[in-house]
Amino acid sequence: MTTLYEPAYAKLNLILDVLGKREDGYHDLKSVMQTISLRDDVEIDIGTGEGWRLLCDKDWIPCDETNLAWKAARVYFNTIKKDPDGLEIRITKRIPSEAGLGGGSADAAAVLRALNRHYDYPLSIAALAELGALVGSDVPFCVMGGTAVVEGRGERLRKLPDMPDCIFVICKPEFSASTPALFAKLDEQTIGKRPDHKAMEKAILNGDLSGVAQNLWNVFDPVVTQEHLELNYIKSIFNSYGSAGQQMTGSGSAVFCIVGEFEFAAVICQMLKENYPQVFIAKPVSI
């Protein structure tokens, strides 16, 4: 039996735009995504001689074939046409669920990376990302990590230089937002403000942290904030204690800010912890 270890990094959407509904019922998106140091840990035992099993330290996470990590393992072994002779996946969760941070996708991507390394890299990162698209929309990016433009359903990736070093503070309020309901709302209205993709890419290419922070935008943010005004309260705390820019990630409900100094991040955490237990400090990472 062999045990593999792999970190599963959360993602943030620095910008997120919904371009329209496709014929297949999905939506075309355009985003700039960033992996961050907030992570789950994934361990995989290969060759247990028993059936497949998935364990997680959080009881609300499904531990059967509906889990994206399980699906990723199944897709991988079907593709390379090997039998692991028994498999156990163990996930230690730190990334909040239903937050827009890609926790389940990160776990699936970690499984794909770990298995590919174990079998001496039969698949390129691009091919592994293509496999990830069969599992979930955010999985291809989570396979590649770093900073990237993500388009289509999430399957089209273009790597960018690493974003400037900074500190993120992420706050996950108690409520969660329904992604299908949010897409339906966007379909019924005109999107008033869209992100400036060129400005964001330019800021990243120039290593301009202020430009990155000033160009954060997510078309879901105002839709969710309209129903959950506490997001404005969280952002006001960010703003009052040194944030250079803030917004919601994904379809929510987590919001994040960018700060340049750890001292600012620590104060923001202290101000939010009383009302919001799930507050995290993270940095950008490349995989």
Task: List residues with catalytic annotation.
Answer: 11, 138
Contact in structure between 234 and 272 (CB atoms under 8 Å): yes
Residue 253, preceding peptide bond in cis (omega within 30° of 0): yes
118 secondary structure, DSSP code = H
Nearest to 250 by CA among 147, 130, 103, 62: 103
Q: Provide the CB-side half-sphere exposure for 7 (13 A, CA).
A: 13
CA-CA distance, 74 to 25, in Å (whole number)? 25
User: Would you give the end-to-end CA distance of the chain in angstroms?
Assistant: 26
Cα R_g (the chain), whole angstroms: 19
CA-CA distance, 80 to 85, in Å (whole number)? 14
Nearest to 31 by CA among 247, 280, 270, 254: 247
Query: What are the residues whose beta carbons fall under 8 Å from the beta carbon of 189, sequence distance 6 or more?
Result: none
Encoded amino acid at 22, one letter: R
Nearest to 166 by CA among 108, 230, 246, 251: 246
Contact in structure between 88 and 55 (CB atoms under 8 Å): yes
Q: In whole angstroms, what separates CA 82 from the centre of its chain?
A: 29
Cα–Cα distance list, 11 to 22, 29, 118, 139 (Å)? 25, 16, 24, 10
